[in-house]
Amino acid sequence: MKYVKRSIKKVDGYGILSGKPAYTDDLAPRNSLIVKLLRSPYAFARVRKIDTSEARSLEGVECVLTHEDFPRIPFTRAGQGYPEPSPYDKFALDSYVRYVGDEVAVVAAKDEQTAEKALKLIEVDYEVLNPVLDFEFSEKSPPIHPEDGISGVENQQNNVCSAYEMDIGNIEEELKKCAHVVKHRVYTQAQAHVMMEPHAAFSYIDYQGRLVVVTSSQVPFHIRRILSRVLDIPLRNIRVVKPRIGGGFGGKQAVHGEIYVAAVTLKTGKPSKIIYSRKEVFESSYTRHPMRIDVTLGSDEKGVLKAIDMEILSDTGAYGEHALTTLMVAGSKNLPLYNRVNAVRFKGKVVYTNHTPAGAYRGYGAVQGNFALESAMDILASKLGLDPVKLRQLNMIREGETSPIFKIMGEGREGAEMTIKSCKLEQCVELGKRIFGWSEKFSKRPESGTKVRGVGMAIAMQGSGIAKIDMGSAILKLNDDGSFNLLVGATDLGTGSDTILAQIAAETLNVPVKKVVPYSSDTDLTPFDTGAYASSTTYVSGNAVKRAAEKMKHLIVQHGSKLFNCSEEEVVFNGEEIIGPEQRLPLSEFATKLYYSENQTQLCSTASFVGDEAPPPYMSAFCEIELDTETGKITPVRYVAVVDCGVPINPNLAKVQVEGALVQGIGMALYEEVKYDSKGRLMTNSMMNYRIPSRLDIGDIEVHFVESYEPTGPYGAKSVAEIGIDTPPAAISNAVYNAVGIRLHDLPFTPEKVLKALRVKEGF
Amino acid sequence: MKITLTVNGRKENLEVEPSTTLLEALRMLGLYSVRKGCDTASCGVCTVLMDSKPILSCCSLAVQAQGHSITTVEGLEKDKDFEEIRKNLLSEGADQCGYCGPSLLLTVYSLKKRNIKSLQEIQKYLVGNLCRCTGYHSQLRAIKEFMGVGE
Amino acid sequence: MFKAVDYVRPKSIDEAHDLFVSNTNSQILGGGTYLYLSKRTIQLLIDLQETSLKYISQRDGKIRIGAMSTLSDVEESDIFKNAFNGLVKKVVSDIWSYQLRNAATVGGTVYSRLGFSEFLTLLAVLDVDVVFHNTGVISIKDFLKMPPLRDILKEIVITENDLKVSFQVFKRTHFDFPVLSLAVARCDDEFRIAVGSRPGCALLAKDTPKLLSEGCRDLKTVCDSLIREIPFADDLRASSEYRRHVCGVLFKRALSEVL
């Protein structure tokens, strides 16, 4: 392979590092109205009356909107394939506010100062209601969504947003027969994405009278559809463009401020923009779903797993975006790891609370589920007196195998059957074990002294897109100089998808990568793509690109044969030249002729791809931590990760994805504490108080790859975007147990919590 | 009030309020490499060089910066050191979303000018440059090579 | 960011002081690295950067730091490379971030007596005088107990001596405010103990130094005494209970360095 498996530089890297205007706020028209949102100070309230007259009459204010100005159309903000597996429980603006930070009114003014002033002039008469702040009591509390006209909610009265269950075999019977049964409960927190660029969007009416929305979003096509629904305007009159984005991690897989800027632009006819403050990103975008997960494992005397039972209670906050799907992924992307059991049961509920809504976040339930399952596996290993690695080796899924869960559990619906065609998990475990020095470290006697070291491990799997649902497409067009424009709907969040898709096209066409010019994520100019989530870009969009490139090759041969007046079989295109029986033409000359002189035709190919399966990437993780037993502080020392993502299209970029995800997982495990006060206000709502890992907080991280070949993937590739985040909570918890014999089960493992657990163990 | 700022070697005239931040002023001048990441001086994304030292432009005032020399990456286009560190970052794929890129480049560039040789010290000086995409290791690989330091 | 109506750069500290006291809603601007969090309206912002207060000098056994010296100036100065065995340099170099230290001033740090200030915890146990333009010289010990002064802090003066000093800090991550900071200084039988980030700012202990002076070396006794006499509170970073515990740990570690 010439262009695939090459660590070429990102095509946009140079420009971005040079500071070229590329992000949403850089591109917004200078005369944009500044849009600010009045947000609820209460966790739960009804807006009895809202008086915007003073705000409206303030000089410089162009527009003030309340719930009375929007058609009452329920929708989901979730950026998912239609029909979305999330309830339609949100209105653009509503007479109920359901969390501190929920939108109450929209102000558009000539500058930020005026807009801020206007916000203060809006008078709202709230009927303050009692908020539901503990998800373990949501079902016994009065409804947060008592209103009519919403749909897709499992049980409005009981605050149950979604529910799901499935079972295979007879779990109770199997567990009875097991020699060893372990139970474990974990709690995970509402982790914040903290992407470096806050949410941003601007809109304007173009000279055709169409609404153009430029937004920092992972899902431009879903945004277009949602805007059409919510604002009640035809989809064809909306164009959504994604410029460069400063990170997303799932936090931009939904509609956020776009509705409001669009509404303002439609009302005033003027360009308008909204840039979220960091506080708004924390309080009023999304978080990860906090979950309580109970796992029961049953095995025989040797440690062969016979039964797994997983039960989840998930907190979706005020609205149900991504609720059902994250619940299901917690199971579907973990349970198949141990596919040879006789019985599996999975059930869960997602409940509403008056917290900041939870939504999509890298890992998407898999990391929460992994924490529960991989901790429980270690408990079992300990009970059996088995090396944790051995226990995984006895039970983990292997190439050529399958699991009934693949067919039963998709995302929000049934899934798709899949036999694992590429899985080097065994090798990942072996290699990781060796590089890390696991056997020697694990068998070391626990030390005395105040600083103790421990080692732990975990394995994980994820997916490559959503089978039968996620569709990506690509258009290739030949230019008269022999270069190609590659138009893809796929969304580059900084991950480098533009680059790797160009690499795939280049490989297929056999032309240098620099001859493929990617342009992405513009609903007018690029073909459909569900967007950047579910680890879909490399696998789904990549396959579409490969197909489009193959079609283009054929078109070139076809037109070459016309030009040379021979049959297609006699023509060869080798990337540089079109070679006939008697002639050969360099591609650029061929293209020039084709544009200007003979049989003039624009060569353009298009292709789409939907996966029949979502082949999982796999990984093993080995970590060493140091625990200060006097303060409870856990310091990561070393993290070795070995990943099978098929063939890495760009090894550097694949590596950076995993490294970045690991650090986010370490943050989730150790540092990222979320605190609400008793009235439901998010207290950790700034980067000053919510600490993501700095470069000194993570120890050494080594990422290695074991290549497998996924036959259904482009050049053997699977996706790699999410899997890196899955293992740190479990691996670190397991390492702590190895060090000091306490089982941490409540994220994050702050020094204070660890110290408490240590003292409990010592009998205090 | 009218002020004059010296930015990237040029004198720029601006109309600002006393509480206009340096970040806002620089973006008014079209220097979009200077970005806002947080509200609380906690991320480093808004870093610019003032008299060759990295500062946070989000909590500095434009009026404070009068009389000083401000540098952003736009002003370093022809600088060999800058070109080199940028090339290194790109080669490592350490420019993911790129949002924190210019601020990191400026800080590393200032350390190179100071000839800091210890890796530990470099990491410490960079602690205020947060990144959520890369996990820091690819950045470190690029920076080690650029600064010519070992372990 | 606060809203400022007017901005001025006086050319002398006299001028600055006159402006400051004659305008009740005026504010002294040092680096502005904490002030920017305020949302109030300030009538007159007085920027001291041209009042010649940016210096660090060493003479006759005293180190004088002008109020407009940045924390970085302290960190990089040759004087502090050696003074107190490099401890002041080390403590300052761990504060927040390099970018912040390049702007935050010593004057702003000391004057504002913010709870999280590690620098203040260390200064509290050294022989430090805080010098105000009008009020004159105040010992750090007295300064820490006073109500806010409407005066301009000109410089701090640190007397160099043979104090044996230990500084301990506990942070959840490397880039964070402390959960607790603690400093112990010893000269023969005289002890000084300061605890900061409680979350309140540096507080000098009274009873525990006496115990140590009297010869008590029983760790449990002195730790219990310190935890008893220093008030702690809950905040986002830690509970008071945890702070009490960490205080004991840090104190033990500090004592092992000075005893």
> Looking at the predicted structure, is the pLDDT value of residue B41 above 90?
yes
Residues of chain A with Cβ-Cβ distance to C249 below 8 Å are 630-631
Residues C168, C153 share a domain: no
* Per-residue pLDDT, A758: 96
How many percent of chain A have pLDDT more than 90?
Answer: 96
Residues C249, C184 share a domain: yes
Residues B123, B64 share a domain: no
Q: What is the dihedral of CA A739, A743, A747, A748, to 10 degrees?
A: -20
- For residues A25 and A275, the answer to whether their CB atoms sit within 8 Å is yes
- Alpha-carbon separation of residue A303 from A331, A390, A440 (angstroms): 21, 9, 22
Q: Quick check: B18 and C5 CB within 8 A?
A: yes
Which of the four pLDDT bands, split at 50, 70 and 90, describes residue A759? very high
Residues B87, B98 share a domain: yes
User: Last residue of some domain: C143, C159, C175?
Assistant: C159
Q: Quick check: C172 and A750 CB within 8 A?
A: yes
CATH number of residue B28's parent domain:
3.10.20.30
* Per-residue pLDDT, A604: 97
What number is the average pLDDT over the span C30-52? Answer: 96
Residues C123, C78 share a domain: yes
Whether the link from the prior residue into B18 is cis, omega within 30° of 0, is no
Q: Quick check: C175 and B17 CB within 8 A?
A: no
Residues B129, B103 share a domain: yes
- C207 exposure class (CB count in 10 Å sphere: 0-12, 13-18, 19+): middle
Residues C209, C188 share a domain: yes
The residues, any chain, with a CB within 8 Å of residue B42's CB and separated by 6 or more, are A686, A687, A688, B130
| Residue A750 at interface with chain C, using a CB cutoff of 8 Å | yes
> Looking at the predicted structure, is the pLDDT value of residue B130 above 90?
yes
> Looking at the predicted structure, is the pLDDT value of residue A438 above 90?
yes
Q: Quick check: A494 and B126 CB within 8 A?
A: no
Residues C204, C131 share a domain: no
Residues B112, B65 share a domain: no
The residues, any chain, with a CB within 8 Å of residue A367's CB and separated by 6 or more, are A188, A288, A665, A668, A725, A726, A729
Residues C152, C99 share a domain: yes
Q: Give the phi and the psi of residue A566 in degrees, each rounded to 5.
A: -140, -175
- For residues C65 and C77, the answer to whether their CB atoms sit within 8 Å is no
Residues C188, C140 share a domain: no
Residues B120, B67 share a domain: no
Residues C153, C78 share a domain: yes
> Looking at the predicted structure, is the pLDDT value of residue A627 above 70?
yes
| A630, A671, A691 member nearest C249 (Cβ) | A630
| Min Cα–Cα distance to chain A from C197, Å | 14
How many Å apart are CA A351 and CA A154, to the nearest integer? 9
Residues B28, B66 share a domain: yes
What number is the average pLDDT over the span C215-242? Answer: 97
User: Last residue of some domain: C30, C47, C64?
Assistant: C47
How many Å apart are CA A620 and CA A457, to the nearest integer? 7
Q: Quick check: B90 and A9 CB within 8 A?
A: yes
Residues of chain A with Cβ-Cβ distance to C170 below 8 Å are 631, 633, 751
Question: Quick one: closest CA in B to A281, which residue?
Answer: B38
> Looking at the predicted structure, is the pLDDT value of residue C154 above 90?
yes
Q: Locate the DSSP E strands across A591-706.
A: 604-610, 618-628, 634-644, 700-705
pLDDT, tens digit, 9 for 90 and up, residues B54-83: 999 999 999 999 999 999 999 999 999 999
Residues C212, C238 share a domain: yes
Structural domains present in chain A: 13-129+196-247+252-284 (3.90.1170.50), 291-466+613-762 (3.30.365.10), 471-610 (3.30.365.10)
Residues B81, B67 share a domain: no
User: What separation, in Å, do the N-terminal and C-terminal C-alpha atoms of chain C show?
Assistant: 46
Domain count, chain C: 3
Q: Which of A375, A349, A360 is nearest to A286 (CA)?
A: A360
Residues B104, B90 share a domain: yes
> Looking at the predicted structure, is the pLDDT value of residue A446 above 80?
no
Residues B126, B80 share a domain: yes
* Per-residue pLDDT, B151: 61
pLDDT, tens digit, 9 for 90 and up, residues C66-107: 999 999 999 999 999 999 999 999 999 999 999 999 999 999
Range of the domain at C249: 164-258
Range of the domain at B120: 76-147
Residues C171, C119 share a domain: no
Residues B141, B83 share a domain: yes
Whether the link from the prior residue into A616 is cis, omega within 30° of 0, is no
Alpha helices in A71-137 (DSSP H): 112-121
Residues C119, C173 share a domain: no
pLDDT, tens digit, 9 for 90 and up, residues A169-210: 999 999 999 999 999 999 999 999 999 999 999 999 999 999
Domain count, chain B: 2
3-state secondary structure of A350: strand
Q: Quick check: A664 and B90 CB within 8 A?
A: no
| Min Cα–Cα distance to chain C from A542, Å | 39
Q: Which helix (H) or strand (E) holds C87?
A: helix C87-93
Residues B100, B140 share a domain: yes
- For residues A292 and A52, the answer to whether their CB atoms sit within 8 Å is no
| Higher pLDDT, residue A411 or C38 | C38
Which of the four pLDDT bands, split at 50, 70 and 90, describes residue A764? low
Q: Which of A688, A594, A608, A703 is nearest to A653 (CA)?
A: A703
Question: Quick one: closest CA in B to C174, which residue?
Answer: B127
Residues C170, C128 share a domain: no
Question: Which is it for strands A33-39 and A272-275: parallel, antiparallel or unpaired?
Answer: parallel
User: Last residue of some domain: B75, B104, B130?
Assistant: B75
* Per-residue pLDDT, B115: 86
> Looking at the predicted structure, is the pLDDT value of residue B150 above 80?
no
* Per-residue pLDDT, A411: 83
